[in-house]
Amino acid sequence: MTVLEEVRVVHTVVPSPLGPITLVSHDGGLSALLLQSSKYEAVQGPFGERADDEFDEVQTQLHEYFAGTRTQFDLPLHLVGTTFQRRVWEGLLRIPYGQTRSYGELAAEIGLDPRTSSRAVGAANGRNRIAIVVPCHRVIGADGTLTGFAAGLERKRFLLGHEAKGRPREHLLF
């Protein structure tokens, strides 16, 4: 018989320009960044005890991101998903700030055939629970349209617009 060690799960809720964000950590790794009114409603779930003081670095980096001074996060992550989902999420982490990819382009970048894998990549993208930090908002439709975002397309538009600020017009994301 295998005895599993207990995992410490804690959370906090922080303000943001997108509304309250619930942050969840598993053993010190960020495992969720949930926006209220998303498919992962911030008030649901066993998020463990509230531990506001354990999220100082996450809060600092989010503040810097929204202030426009941080373009890449440097946080310990606790990615919970299938091997395929984790492969897609790791691909998301390689999309540079201010750039977008289509589902097919992301599929190709992680070594898959975009003709047969775009939908599976889209499904895995939609299961990402660490929005913003694992930048699923940077994936758009092949024709450049904004598609699915658990927290709503208006928030996806906000994030893409935020990342496009200060860029020459010909380099805007949409």
Based on the fold, state whether residues 42 and 102 are members of the same structural domain: no
Count of domains forming the chain? 2
User: Given pLDDT bands bounded at 50, 70 and 90, which one contains residue 112?
Assistant: very high
Q: How far is Cα 110 from Cα 114, in angstroms, rounded to an integer? A: 10
* Statement to judge: residues 87 and 55 lie in one domain: no
For residue 50, tell me if it sits in a domain: yes
Q: Which residues are catalytic?
A: 136
For residue 116, tell me if it sits in a domain.
yes
Please report whether residue 49 resides in a domain.
yes
What's the CATH number where 123 sits?
Answer: 1.10.10.10
Distance CA(91)–CA(62), nearest Å, equals 21
Residue 163 lies in a domain: yes
Same domain, 46 and 92: no
Cβ atoms of residues 21 and 62 within 8 Å: yes
State pTM to two decimals.
0.86
* Tens digits of residue pLDDT in 20-78: 999 999 999 999 999 876 444 444 567 889 999 999 999 999 999 999 999 999 999 99
At 171, is the pLDDT very low, low, confident or very high (cuts 50, 70, 90)? Answer: very low
State how far the Cα of 129 lies from the Cα of 30, in Å rounded to an integer.
10
Q: Is residue 102 helix, strand or coil?
A: strand
What separation in angstroms does the CA of 60 have from each of 31, 53, 55, 70, 73? 17, 12, 9, 10, 10
CATH of the domain at 20: 3.30.160.70
- Residue 147 has a pLDDT of 86
List the domain range (segments joined by +) for residue 40: 9-67
Q: Is residue 140 part of a domain?
A: yes
